[in-house]
Structure 1
Amino acid sequence: MNTKNAKTLPLIFMVVGALLTIYALILDFMKSTGELRGYILILGVILLILGIFKIPNKKHTKIVNMVFLFPMIFTFAVTVIIPFILGIVYSFTDWNGIQVTKFVGLSNYITMFKQSDYVYSFVITVIYTVINMILVNVVGFALALVCSSKIKGTSFFRSAYFLPNLIGGLVLGYVWQFIFNKVFTTVFAGSVSMLTNANLALLAILIVNTWQYAGYIMLIYLTGLQTVPKDVLEAAGVDGASAITTLFKIKMPMIANTFTVCIFLTLVNSFKQFDLNLAITNGAPSRIMGADIIQSTELLALNIYNTAIRKNNYALGQTKAVVFFIILAVVSLTQVAISKKKEVEL
């Protein structure tokens, strides 16, 4: 077989094999009866594999790579890209979760911003995000400093601090709901659960999230601290630099990129908080705001869920989700840009 045929034949096998495979899948999707589609699928797969392994030289490696990447790209498109595009389209319709009957333009967006519960959820989500971002990073960095010190048992402490992060948010939320409602009120007789107080319920979620997530952030900070050259620290010690000076003048500037990563992770995690919010309070307790009764701890993600699933308003819920994505993207990109600028200054 000459060189030209050696290059062409595998490509023909691949194309025919791919077409036969797709045709067999279409027949299966259309509920076609008979054994024909099975034989077509087997033949298509065989030709596709033969074509891949018969490619003679490196010029065709891109084709081979694309063939192997196709399942991943196809899955990503079907599960992420296409639903995202459809979600944007549905936000301009009266979609009921099954079908679209008419195009409503910006009506859903106008309705969304007129809802006092949505505005309230947005405000408390921002407050929650700022406080939680500070708490988790401060606690996580403090734990990293402890675990990077020369005290005994640091391996145990690392495992113990990280352990809460291995528990699922919903499970952890229900466990802590029991602790707040039953354990604390029993131990401290006569006390009222934080979860029944509209002013303290959000604090309970902050406490649990910090307890769960600080250990994960600690590991990232710990990795950053271990990259600081020991000779630099030894030189600082010889020059008489105190532990505080070494921390603020040497360690922190040298792990500025670690701060960027941790702040980004906690920012995104806080803004899209859902599982703990659902399990611990489910938005309760209620609060009177003007003429409306709203849920005092209903963060944005839970508000979107309740709008679509519980109130059966899928179009409005999708509209809120689109705006939620835009806000999260803008805030995240802004935070990363500012942090990168600070890294350069440090």
Structure 2
Amino acid sequence: MSTATAPPVAARPAAAHARRGRRRSGLARRRAVIAWAFMLPLIGVNALVVLGPSLFAVYYSFTDWNGIGGAQWVGLANYAELFGDADFRNALWHNVLWTIFFLVVPMVMGLFGAYALTRIRRFRLVFRVAYFLPYIVASVVTAAIWENLLSPDVGVGRILQVNFLGSQTLALPTVAFVNNWAWWGFLVVVFLAAMQGVSPNLYEAAALDGAGPFRQFWSITLPSIQPTFMFLGLMTIIWSFLSFDYVYILTQGGPAGATDVLSTLLYREAFASLRAGYASAVGIVMALISGLVVAAYLVIRKRKDWAV
């Protein structure tokens, strides 16, 4: 008569541990499959509406295409024409000026507006809503209102005898002013959220050391919100190079190209001149500029070890 030999006592915990490990591994795989199942529709939509058109834009930038019929391959001819085109250089220069303006004026206004709101206790929510409201109003509505306000026939232009949107000197600053009116309130709200995350103990310690409001702002607030500041600077640069709505609604790039930016040049070449291949080359250059800005930001972020 034979008897079964029981497994060693030490082997039982090891076997149980192995089973638990297999169960955890199987559970992790199931969670990964479920996660990908939820993500696949979104990936498919992005591939359809973002990746696909982007690849086609790259292809058409090397062709002579009117946007309707077949495309004829021309290689780098569009890019060679682009960098020799006075209209392109003019639009690019306006984008640079636009970017400089929006990196300085609304950023400074947003910073000090947000800091001022941190110093008050009553009606803060009312001010936040008042600042943010122009940002959520449709750009068509905002542009139409300011077009009438600045009109040389019925608005401020009539009083001052100045055609703000018809002057080659004043048109671009005027459009930038209108866009800034709608934009800077958004910066106020974002900066205010970042400033509210700064520890009050830092300000109390600085006040005990005799630091005034400006010194506290310079030595505590700005370093504390630096990641947010740099991120908004990045987005401002990208959005500045993609600006279109206010320029097109108010001036369509005129007068005589005085407010032309890359996006209005692209729109005109694609839909007015029916040069979709050339317009695609303009779009690729815009994308490359944005990509370089993002790459520079990521390098700085990695070196600074920012969480934002």
Give yes or no for the alignment of 1:82 onto 2:49. Answer: no
Out of 299, 302, 305, the residue aligned to residue 261 of structure 2 is 299
Residue identity matched to 2:265: N
- Structure 1 unaligned regions, length at least 5: 1-55, 287-294
Any idea what SS the aligned residue of 1:195 has? coil
> Please, which moves more after superposition, 219-228 or 168-177?
168-177
Find the counterpart in structure 2 of residue 98 from structure 1: 68
Structure 1 segment 159-174 matched on structure 2, within 5 A: 159-174=129-144
Check the 8 A contact 2:60/2:71 in 1, yes or no. Answer: no
Give yes or no for the alignment of 1:222 onto 2:192. Answer: yes
Find the counterpart in structure 2 of residue 184 from structure 1: 156
- Structure 2 unaligned regions, length at least 5: 1-25
Aligned Cα RMSD in Å?
2.0
Find the counterpart in structure 2 of residue 120 from structure 1: 90
Structure 1 segment 5-44 matched on structure 2, within 5 A: none
TM-score using structure 2 length: 0.85
Find the counterpart in structure 2 of residue 73 from structure 1: 43
Residue identity matched to 1:328: S
Cα distance between partner residues in 2 of 1:58 and 1:148: 45
TM-fit CA distance, 1:94: 1.6
Find the counterpart in structure 1 of residue 19 from structure 2: none
Cα distance between partner residues in 2 of 1:64 and 1:256: 38
After superposition, give the CA deviation of every residue in 1:146-168 in whole Å (9 maximum; x if it has no partner).
21112532221111011000012
Find the counterpart in structure 2 of residue 131 from structure 1: 101
Find the counterpart in structure 1 of residue 177 from structure 2: 207
TM-fit CA distance, 1:339: 6.8
> Please, which moves more after superposition, 112-121 or 174-183?
174-183
After superposition, give the CA deviation of every residue in 1:214-261 in whole Å (9 maximum; x if it has no partner).
111111110111111111111111111111111111111111111112
TM-fit CA distance, 1:178: 1.6
Identical aligned pairs, as a percentage?
A: 28
TM-score using structure 1 length: 0.76
TM-fit CA distance, 1:332: 3.4
Any idea what SS the aligned residue of 2:80 has? helix
Residue identity matched to 2:157: T
Cα distance between partner residues in 1 of 2:104 and 2:28: 52
Aligned residues: 279
Q: 1:172 to 1:92 in 2, by over 3 A?
A: same
Give yes or no for the alignment of 1:266 onto 2:236. Answer: yes
Cα distance between partner residues in 2 of 1:265 and 1:57: 40
Cα distance between partner residues in 2 of 1:245 and 1:57: 54
TM-fit CA distance, 1:308: 0.5
Cα distance between partner residues in 2 of 1:215 and 1:340: 29
Out of 318, 322, 326, the residue aligned to residue 288 of structure 2 is 326
TM-fit CA distance, 1:67: 2.5
Residue identity matched to 1:282: Q
